Homo-oligomer: A and B are copies of this chain.
Amino acid sequence: MQQPAFAYVRHGQTPFFRLPTRDVGVDAEAYRGIQAVLLGVPYDGGCTHHPGARFAPYHVRRVSATTQSFHPSHRIDVFQALRCVDGGNAALPPFAPAMAREILQQEIGAITSARARPFVVGGDHSITLPVLRALAEAHGPLAVLHIDAHLDTSTGELWGDAFHHGTPFRHAIEEGLLARDALVQVGIRAPWGTPEEDALVKGYGGRILSPFELQDPRTLARELRGHFGGRPLYVSIDVDGIDPSFAPGTGTPVPCGLTPREVTSLLRGLAGCRLVGMDVVEVCPALDHADLTSLLAAHLIFEGLALAALAGE
């Protein structure tokens, strides 16, 4: 007999997607044989506006519990095809950002050492930098699909610290973590402080698309698939890339965002790419309603896992 849909009830606990749990921190051995590790990062110490994303992993886990495992579009049973575990949360010191980055990089390092892929649920967007560092160390410079309302290439000038949730992609470029030509930013639309805000990404061969410029996500996906080729691909989704009506629970919402169908079509069109990791960040449960944003985050992670499942190994 099939496993009852309400089996998750038994535990009382709510690991991501009712997956087995593994609680390892920086011990790669514990992940041996695992292909994907879901990791919560309850940290919002890099937030410049409305904090609260530190609570996202708890809520995304809870609402993910009822997700079934067969993906009707890719026609693959994600959790049969891919050995996944819930690796728990990275326990980052809340008032020591540099140490937090260090610890997270090591935890991601443990995952890549086990040849598994990290699927990270943030936390604010500042957590993406240490993830990129660990992945670039393992795979070399990365191609990145970045969904966001903001470029996230600010300097630290405005906030007194060069490492906050508006800066990860500046550092990633400056540190050589990203492959030239291979940063694609979709959903960008918030007003800028200066006319040159896109200079860094443009100068690095990157591509910036507002929701108004996105015609057909399937066409874009086809282009990107060709463009990315066999390069290691990281997907970073700030939920504010999506319109606030679909994702009200976020700290810096901007009207006129992408729709979940657009983002999902884009992701599905990347089947065949070499996905090495993914994050969904900036879910702020205190501002959410009826778990809309947490549900959307769980959905997006599931779409990423499906891509990994299709790629196999």
Contact = CB atoms under 8 A, between A and B. Distances in A.
Interface stretch (A67-75, A111-119, A127-135, A221-229): A67-75
A244 B212 contact: no
Interface stretch (A28-36, A54-62, A170-178, A273-281): A54-62
Nearest to A191: B68
Nearest to A70: B192
A158 B66 contact: no
Contacts of A49: 66
Contacts of A1: 157
Interface string A271-299: 00000000000000011111110011001
Given A6-B159, A52-B50, A97-B95, A246 B249 contact: no
Given A159-B95, A245-B292, A299-B255, A13 B21 contact: yes
A260 interface: yes
Query: Secondary structure of the A side of the interface?
Result: loop
Interface string A128-163: 000000000000000000000000000001111100
Interface in A62-104: 62, 66-73, 75, 77-78, 86-89, 91-97, 99
A159 B66 CA distance: 14
Contacts of A6: 48, 91, 94, 158-159
Contacts of A256: 260-261, 264, 299
B253 A295 contact: yes
Interface in A228-252: 243-246, 248-249, 252
Most buried by B among A66, A256, A302: A256
8 contacts: A9-B42, A10-B25, A14-B58, A69-B193, A72-B197, A95-B161, A244-B292, A255-B260
Given A7-B91, A70-B194, A93-B160, 9 more contacts: A10-B91, A66-B252, A70-B191, A70-B195, A72-B210, A73-B212, A244-B295, A249-B290, A253-B291
